[in-house]
Amino acid sequence: MARSKTFRGRLDTIPPVFWMLLSSIIIFTALSPQFLEVSNFRNILIQAAPLLVVSIGVTIVLLSEGVDLSTGGTISLTTVLWITFLKLGIPMGFAIIITLIITSIIGGVNGFIVAKGNVPPFIVTLGMSSITSGIALVMTQGSSIYFYHPLFSIIVNSRILSIPMPIIIAAIVFLISWVLLYRTKFGAQVFGLGGNPEALTLGGINKIWSIMRVFSYSGLLAGITGLILASRIESGNPISGVGWEFDAVAATLIGGTSFNEGKGGIGGTILGVLLLAIIRNALNVIGVSSMYQSALIGSMVLLAIIIDVYFNMRKDNRVETEV
Amino acid sequence: MNTIMKKLKNSQGLFSLLGLLLLVVVSSLSSDRFLRFDNIITILRQSSILLILSVGLTGVVLTRGVDLSISAMAAFVGCTSAQLLKAGVPIPIVFIVGIIIGGIIGLFNGFLVGRLRLPPFVATYGTMMVVNGFSLIMMQGAVIYGLPENFAWYGVGYIGFLPVPVVIAAAVVAFFIVLLKNTTFGREIYLIGSNYNVALYSAVPVRKRIYTMYAICGMTAGLAGLILTARLNAAEVAMGDTFGLQTVAAVVIGGTSLLGGEGGPLGTVIGALILTIVVNIMNLLGVSSYAQPVVIGVVIISTVYLDVVSKQKRVN
């Protein structure tokens, strides 16, 4: 994209989510002075960190012209698997590695089915979500399982240079993903899948393998999110991931990644995640019940999608012959 | 060429029917309670709400769309109708209001898909979240129960030896068969699904047809919500959750392709019956209810996979 020299042109390149973020900060500060306190902001960031991790994976899937609605189920299953492994006496390091390998494989299976059969990804990942959350329910018979390990508190509460650990984890994941996406062949293939899959095939790249890797990465990041979540709730809970798949897709879409043509990126997703976290936090501070929150966030997402599509339509200037 | 296509279509329906028969044989061998008259009536009754939901969905899937919001709509209409009944509104008006609410939400979906050309699953997934949110707001976490007995009749009553929901479901299916197979509207729906551009150039009012189809699908979802409320004699926000994926599964198992333009309401009847029998036999065999989502997930992924792959083979 060529940089426009005019002020107006530069304004246009700033994604809408930035203005939404700015205006919501201003509005919420006006409504509640507590909102701008440092401790509150730290809370917001800590709350946002695990969502950012899973959303990055979902963003990359969306960029490759797929969609991943299985992350919620994967997160639930991760908490249950991890705690179960620890209860069985498997050492911490192994438990983490095995859990993350399993979630990556779940993602890989998603990708394989999507790529091999050219099956709509939303139905594959919805089905997978049903399977994984079902397995989590069977493993725990529907209730939470508890275990305590000092690492939980390290993941949730410790700080390095006064930066809380969840934020550091999210930042590391973001940096690695950024490098993967913009500095490696993996990233080029992601954008290729989104933009021009035929060219990839002609270029001798195994499409199935690259789609599998994209979904697998999303599974891995959902697994990491599940680990952070399990540390926070100090238990394995078969329904702890419910709704996360939606938040992740929501943050991605609000962040400006669109379903077509591999537009957008993980930078916008940070803003999308922050916006969701700020709205949730502010509604809590102001005292709006969680019931209104889900309706509000659902409406916002729909609005964001509609605005995105609307502007794309105007830009494309497509003329539809219609009776 | 035409006859070959017809044969293929028939064979696909035959495939589902054979699956159903096989399932019945296996089920009756594995549990002697299965083929009892009361169990068969139970299966029909259990399948009726899923059937009403998924027959409506069939029309949408034929346009190469999908509606993930119907179970949320059913729950929303159920909650609304329970509130209205508690406020003393007469039953016929509650039914009309419920069906109209479903129709309006469906129309909104149709607008998102037909006018804004959003991918259907995105649009309806968003609608699902919004509608769920509104249900939460309306119910404030409460469960409404103890509805008028006259209303409960629509869920638990009998006409002759047939449960009322079964009769209603049969009527809805008949309506859809006529609508989709015997009218110009139905032909146009099939055409939109099998080739959008051809439909556009053949002067089919594509947008209007898509609006209408989603609106009708919303209305059946509203009806299903009303009957579900009557059967439970209660309403709560999560009442539609179990139907979420099952509706899509019923449609696809019945041979209606997610790629549009192929299949029909009769197949969906078979699909809904297959799913209900699978759940029923799992209950009879004492399989933990927690394992059911696993089975449903596996079934839906494998059927969709087989459907898409076989269709691609035929095209090539």
Q: Mean pLDDT lowest for which of A79-93, A308-322, B100-114, B240-254?
A: A308-322
Task: For residue A47, count other CB atoms closer than 10 A to its CB.
Answer: 18
CA distances from B71 to A145, B20, B293 (A): 30, 25, 16
Which pLDDT tens digit goes with each residue over A256-305?
787 766 677 888 889 889 988 888 887 777 777 776 777 777 787 777 77
A10 pLDDT higher than 80: no
Name which of A122, A246, A259, A288 to mutate to probe chain B: the one with the most chain B Cβ atoms within 10 A of its Cβ: A122
CB contact under 8 A, B121 and A322: no
Name which of B67, B118, B129 to mutate to probe chain A: the one with the most chain A Cβ atoms within 10 A of its Cβ: B129
Q: How far apart are the first and last CA of chain B?
A: 15
Provide the token pair at B245. 């994926």
**What residues in A contact B258, CB-CB < 8 Å?**
120, 123
Look at the alpha carbons of A8, A13, A17, A23 in this order and tell me if their dihedral is positive or negative: negative
Give the list of residues 6+ apart from residue A172 with CB closer than 8 angstroms, or none.
none
Look at the alpha carbons of B56, B133, A296, A144 in this order and tell me if their dihedral is positive or negative: negative
pLDDT of residue A118: 81
Picking from B9, B91, B71, the residue whose alpha carbon sits closest to that of residue B261 is B9
CB contact under 8 A, B201 and A321: yes
CB contact under 8 A, B201 and A137: no
Maximum C-alpha span of chain A: 68
Provide the token pair at A285. 């501070």
Domain ranges of chain B: 13-315
Picking from A127, A125, A109, A130, the residue whose alpha carbon sits closest to that of residue B290 is A130
CB contact under 8 A, A134 and B312: no
**What residues in A contact B125, CB-CB < 8 Å?**
69, 122, 246, 249
Q: Mean pLDDT lowest for which of A19-33, A171-185, B9-23, B294-308?
A: B9-23
Tell me the whole-structure pTM to 2 decimals: 0.84
pLDDT of residue A75: 95
* CB-CB contact of B14 with B20 (8 Å): no
**What residues in A contact B136, CB-CB < 8 Å?**
291-292, 294-295
Look at the alpha carbons of A297, A298, A303, A309 in this order and tell me if their dihedral is positive or negative: positive
CA of A192 vs chain B CAs: smallest distance (Å) = 20
Closest residue on chain A to B111 (Cα): A306
C-alpha neighbours within 13 Å on the C-beta side of residue A261 = 6
| Residue range B13-315, CATH number | 1.10.3470
A11 pLDDT higher than 70: no
- Which of B200, B300, B301 shows the shortest C-beta gap to A322? B200
**What residues in B contact A133, CB-CB < 8 Å?**
293
Alpha helices in chain B (DSSP H): 2-30, 37-62, 70-86, 91-110, 120-139, 149-156, 164-181, 184-194, 196-201, 206-232, 244-253, 265-284, 292-315
pLDDT of residue A64: 86
A–B interface: beta-carbon pairs under 8 A: 140
Alpha helices in chain A (DSSP H): 7-13, 16-31, 38-63, 71-87, 92-117, 121-140, 150-157, 165-183, 185-195, 197-202, 207-233, 244-254, 266-286, 290-316
Residues of chain B whose pLDDT is less than 70? Answer: 1-14, 315-316
3-state secondary structure B234-260: EECHHHHHHHHHHHHHHHHHCCCCCCC
Higher pLDDT, A60 or A8: A60
CA of A38 vs chain B CAs: smallest distance (Å) = 31
ipTM above 0.85 for this complex: no
pLDDT of residue A323: 31
At residue A318 the predicted structure's pLDDT band, cuts being 50, 70 and 90, is very low
pLDDT of residue A312: 63
CA distance A107 to B315: 29
**What residues in A contact B140, CB-CB < 8 Å?**
291
Picking from A171, A16, A313, the residue whose alpha carbon sits closest to that of residue B117 is A313
pLDDT of residue A221: 95
* CB-CB contact of B81 with B235 (8 Å): yes
Bridge partners, residue B162, by sequence: B159
Which pLDDT tens digit goes with each residue over A126-151?
899 999 999 999 999 888 889 888 88
